[in-house]
Amino acid sequence: MASRAKVTVIGAGNVGATTAQRIAEAGLADVVLVDIVEGLPQGKGLDLAEAAPVVGHDAQVIGTNDYADTAGSDVVVVTSGLARQPGMSRDDLLMKNAGIVRSVVEAAARVSPEAILIVVTNPLDAMCHVAHRASGFPRERVLGMAGVLDSARFRTFIAQELGVSVEDVHAFVLGGHGDTMVPLSRYSTVAGVPITELLPAARVRALEERTANGGAEVVALLKTGSAFYAPAASTFEMVDAILRDRKRVLPCAVLLQGEFGVHDLFVGVPIVLGRGGLERVFEIELTSDERTAFEKSAAAVEELVQKLPA
Ligand code: APR
């Protein structure tokens, strides 16, 4: 009898627990929630399991501090890490989260050697490098979640601006996650019509800027902590594309090996995502302005990667 797929979610905080909830409630896979804090993943896992009869699904959810329980996972989602604390520089955060991501990926990869890794911890593109090295996995099985979130934000703002359904809005973003991301408005459409034909250039620019600052806008409102509903929904979309072999075309951070003129760097680009993970980089032509912005974004990723311990 076919058994359900198994997904491990490392980090039982806001993003991890919400991702676990989405996966379980969709009945997509059994979920193992892992955290370094004792009791936290067990408590949230039990709570999620107790929601199952009401929600109506049969996925198993457990929480643990022991990687043995994660063995044989099909997908491993990495959300563990620290948020930036007052007085902590971006570089301090980079080093702290690099240490956390390295240790959790080593432990998880050892017992799930065939898994596909989805990295969510920030700074995203640099953490993908750490996960790639720590796992020893081929590039097809190490993916970063950022582009789906960034384009979801862009789609939200476009739909609100034009008063249309989000369902009919498609948006395209490239590049690193953060200030240097590159929204491609030319390829962002409402029912197939580019938004550059529907909105004045200044409004398009404003929506692009709001998208690039989308994470910071939520942090400023929440004051403690960062966004998690949209990040979890975006992570779920990637897990779903993989486990159901949907061949979705989604922007993900992947290790480029010459595509878009970039070598050995994780940067967000559209890919075909299926049961094999990265199945194809979906290369598109860029205008010279877009290319310049993309190269600037890749350079910002490179700068962080250079700072990582070897
Ligand atoms: N092993 C396992 N879990 C760990 C470890 C570790 N070594 N170190 C920290 N954690 C756990 C924490 O105990 C915490 O429960 O990671 C969890 C992080 O959860 P939150 O602080 O709630 O952070 P969250 O909002 O979920 O964001 C997680 O995703 O979007 C990114 O920028 C965000 O990097 C951040 C990550």
Distance in angstroms (rounded) separating the CA atoms of residues 185 and 183 = 6
Answer yes or no: do 126 and 181 share one domain: no
Answer yes or no: do 204 and 121 share one domain: no
Query: CA Rg, the chain, in Å?
Result: 19
Pairing of strands 169-170, 173-174: unpaired
Lowest mean pLDDT among 39-43, 184-188, 242-246: 184-188
Centre of ligand 1 to C-alpha 121, Å, is 7
Helix (H) or strand (E) holding 253: strand 248-257
Contact by Cβ (8 Å): 73, 96: no
Centre of ligand 1 to C-alpha 240, Å, is 22
What confidence tier does 92 reach under pLDDT thresholds 50, 70, 90?
Answer: confident
Q: Does the global pTM surpass 0.75? A: yes
What confidence tier does 93 reach under pLDDT thresholds 50, 70, 90?
Answer: confident
Mutation test residue for ligand 1: of 8, 15, 304, the one with most atoms within 8 Å of CB: 15
Catalytic choice (132, 170, 177, 263)? 177
On the question of pLDDT at 247 being above 60, the answer is yes
The phi and psi torsions of 162 (rounded to 5 degrees) equal -100, -5
Answer yes or no: do 99 and 155 share one domain: no
Answer yes or no: do 60 and 135 share one domain: yes
**Ligand 1, atom 7: closest residue by C-alpha:** 100
The phi and psi torsions of 280 (rounded to 5 degrees) equal -165, 140
Contact by Cβ (8 Å): 40, 278: no
What confidence tier does 23 reach under pLDDT thresholds 50, 70, 90?
Answer: very high
Distance in angstroms (rounded) separating the CA atoms of residues 274 and 47 = 31
Cis amide linkage into residue 231, ω under 30° from 0? no
**Could you give the 3-state DSSP secondary structure of residue 18?**
helix
| Burial per residue of 107-122, b for 16 or more beta-carbon CB atoms within 10 angstroms, e otherwise | bbbebbeebbbbbbbb
Give the residue from 144, 174, 205 where a domain finishes: 144
Closest by CA position to 26, among listed 58, 53, 3, 54:
58
**Count of structural domains, the chain:** 2
Query: What residue spans of 244-287 are helical by DSSP H?
Result: none
Residues 6+ apart with CB under 8 A from 187: 172, 194, 284
Answer yes or no: do 171 and 189 share one domain: yes
pLDDT above 70 covers a percentage of the chain that reads 99
Distance in angstroms (rounded) separating the CA atoms of residues 261 and 10 = 33
Segment 213-227 shows an average pLDDT of 90
Centre of ligand 1 to C-alpha 214, Å, is 20
Model pLDDT, residue 177 = 86
Name the burial class of residue 278, with classes exposed (0-12), middle (13-18) and buried (19+) by CB atoms within 10 angstroms of its CB: buried
Name the β-bridge partners of 7. 31, 75
**Could you give the 3-state DSSP secondary structure of residue 244?**
coil
Residue with the two structure tokens 């950022």: 146
Model pLDDT, residue 2 = 59
**Ligand 1 neighbours by CB, cut-off 6 Å:** 10-16, 34-37, 40, 79-81, 83, 100, 103-104, 120-122, 225-226, 228, 231
Highest mean pLDDT among 208-212, 222-226, 276-280 belongs to 276-280
Centre of ligand 1 to C-alpha 257, Å, is 30
* CATH at residue 183: 3.90.110.10
On the question of pLDDT at 130 being above 90, the answer is yes
* CATH at residue 31: 3.40.50.720
Helix (H) or strand (E) holding 117: strand 116-119
Segment 182-207 shows an average pLDDT of 96
Answer yes or no: do 160 and 125 share one domain: no
Distances, alpha carbon 192 to alpha carbons 29, 65, 76, 247, 287, in Å: 34, 47, 35, 20, 20
Contact by Cβ (8 Å): 29, 75: yes
**Could you give the 3-state DSSP secondary structure of residue 204?**
helix
Answer yes or no: do 158 and 303 share one domain: yes
Contact by Cβ (8 Å): 249, 272: yes
On the question of pLDDT at 91 being above 70, the answer is yes
Model pLDDT, residue 84 = 73
Answer yes or no: do 180 and 196 share one domain: yes
On the question of pLDDT at 1 being above 70, the answer is no
Mutation test residue for ligand 1: of 36, 38, 101, the one with most atoms within 8 Å of CB: 36
Range of the domain at 102: 5-144
